[in-house]
Chain A
């Protein structure tokens, strides 16, 4: 994996400061309502604010004015998309072209990526592990890591038409969830070598804080090379299993042959 460096001081906008909701008007074209709280980031008042919707090769930018004067566009319909299904958003704050003089392209001053919109009236806290329908037909589920966002649990919509319900079943919880947690922690600590517990807006940090905060877990993860990372992951998974009562739930449905 290629590590990408951020030398520019680009700031990450907290999810709590972004609210993106989708509503559908009479014509069936989805439309965006967004609230942005950017006052605390000390960004230039004249910096441009954009919200971008994207899915596959479709992309649409909405101009939300400037940091000093957030002004939603009158037409906020997602005309590049026939429906809001699978559409993600990013927020970008971009310096005014030519702000630094010369011909340098406009820099991104602050951003937030892979934002899942909420449908109108939905208020619950975003899940640490989003669940999406998958188009595959040979596997029941997959854990997918994306370059720009948190891991997503995908469940085959062909094999499980009621795909949202699968992760809540006792069979899935007991057989799959501990290994899913192990895979995610391995990816974060061993592949991406991320051990930071302070950057609470980072999905990796959120997972590490979840694991470190489990009763009986071993606290903060060791840095790769400083300790037994594999053991820390095993301890975290064991702590998760105790907290979720995986063994007891398993015994409820598993019957040993007489």
Chain B
């Protein structure tokens, strides 16, 4: 299907659909919003996307990056209607039904991006992984700890790193986090989430303290790993992070 962008009316009706899912009378999937000229508009360039599922955020981001970068589309990352359209297009894999067969879309920012909010933009289920992939496009595997999750469950590691621009833009920080928290099969290691010693939450706090003193962007992954306190040692022991 040809990629388009939702307009104000399309976005409003998508919101109504999402809201209805939390009621006893959920609306049917509004397929027509994707193509109806009253609810969506064509892009300046023609880009084809397929309706498919993705095993992880990584493959989703890679798929879109390959289509959008170099397409001639100007600043796609600032186009909230485009990302809302994509979220609606891939709604089924992004919002699978639970055991009770109900779909729970969660907060609005997961579907319609809040591009101007530093605290919420990364929560969009498609724009979030796309931006991380694009920021580390020279070596996307570096960001595997932020992209190895299922597309509909970003999780705590993403929340702790992506919410802080100083961290998510740093090659050393993102690379070190992947080394710490990714297994050889590129799954997340037990203990990476949560609040415990050595968790991603603690890593974020410790590195934000480093950031007060050191030039993070001049550090290497190895230098940063050496600086971490002993609580991270249990994650340092296994180096088979898949990178």
Contacts and interface: CB of A to CB of B under 8 A. Distances in A.
Interface stretch (B29-37, B45-53, B188-196, B217-225): B217-225
B118 interface: yes
Contacts of B205: 2
Contact of A135 (B113, B168, B208, B209): B113
Size category of the A interface is 35 or more
Interface residues of B, number: 42
Contacts of B117: 134-136, 144, 154
B165 interface: yes
A137 B209 contact: no
A56 B108 contact: no
Interface string A94-114: 100100000101111000000
B209 A107 contact: no
Nearest to A149: B118
B8 interface: yes
A4 B204 CA distance: 12
A135 B114 contact: yes
A252 interface: no
Contact of A8 (B12, B114, B213): B213
Interface in B109-157: 112-119, 121-122, 131-132, 134-135
B213 A133 contact: no
A106 B224 CA distance: 12
Nearest to A95: B215
B169 A58 contact: yes
A134 B116 contact: yes
Interface stretch (A82-90, A181-189, A218-226): A82-90
A198 interface: no
Contacts of B113: 135
A146 B118 contact: yes
Interface in B49-101: 74-75, 77-78, 80
Contacts of A135: 80, 112-117
Contacts of B164: 147
A57 B134 contact: yes
Given A8-B213, A97-B218, A56 B165 contact: yes
A127 interface: no
A165 B46 CA distance: 37
Given A2-B205, A135-B80, 20 more contacts: A52-B217, A54-B169, A55-B165, A57-B132, A57-B134, A58-B77, A59-B135, A59-B169, A82-B75, A94-B218, A105-B215, A105-B218, A105-B227, A107-B213, A134-B116, A135-B112, A135-B114, A137-B11, A137-B15, A146-B118
9 contacts: A6-B213, A56-B121, A57-B122, A59-B169, A59-B217, A92-B215, A94-B218, A105-B214, A105-B219
State the 5 A-B residue pairs at the shortest beta-carbon distance, nearest first: A82-B75, A59-B169, A57-B135, A135-B114, A57-B131
Interface of B: 8, 11-12, 15, 74-75, 77-78, 80, 108, 112-119, 121-122, 131-132, 134-135, 162, 164-166, 168-169, 205, 208-209, 212-215, 217-219, 223, 227
Interface of A: 2, 4-8, 10, 52, 54-59, 61, 82-83, 85-86, 92, 94, 97, 103, 105-108, 132-138, 144, 146-148, 154, 157-158
